[in-house]
Amino acid sequence: MTEIHKERYRRIRGMILRILIKWHPAPLEVDEIHVFLDDLRYSITKEELSSHLSYLEEPGYIKIENRKADGIEIKKIKIMKKGIDIVDGFSNDVGIIRL
């Protein structure tokens, strides 16, 4: 993986946190995050988004909840305190660029 790709991934993770903090404390659906990223010119595949969400979930920056509504499973994403601390600059992660 090139340095350009690594920086882009770090920026995308930072942008995901920025999107989620604007809606805090309400969660967003995965598809909503995907659309927001696309609108901000961070176009990625659903698989890439899933990878970034897993990266952010492991240390507790976000929480992913699976909910069922009318027989359809929906993933809701919510930013957690650790994620807010990253956005606000109180904490740091080399895999995330604060925007």
Give the residue numbers spanning the domain of 84. Answer: 3-88
User: Could you give the maximum distance between any two Cα atoms of the chain, in Å?
Assistant: 44
Is 97 a domain residue? no
Q: Which CATH number covers residue 33?
A: 1.10.10.10
Average the pLDDT over 44-68 and give the result.
96
Is 93 a domain residue? no
Q: Tell me the CA end-to-end span of the chain in Å, nearest whole number.
A: 22
Measured CA to CA, the distance from residue 70 to residue 68 in angstroms comes to 7
Is 96 a domain residue? no
pTM value is: 0.93
pLDDT at 71: 87
HEC string for 5-73: HHHHHHHHHHHHHHHHHHHCCCCEEHHHHHHHHHHCCCCCCHHHHHHHHHHHHCCCCEEEEEEEECCEE
pLDDT digits (tens, 9 = 90+) for 4-44: 899 999 999 999 999 999 999 999 999 999 999 999 999 99
Taking 80 as the threshold, does the pLDDT of residue 1 lie above it?
A: no
Is 99 a domain residue? no
Q: What is the domain count for the chain? A: 1
Is 28 a domain residue? yes
Is 94 a domain residue? no
Taking 80 as the threshold, does the pLDDT of residue 69 lie above it?
A: no
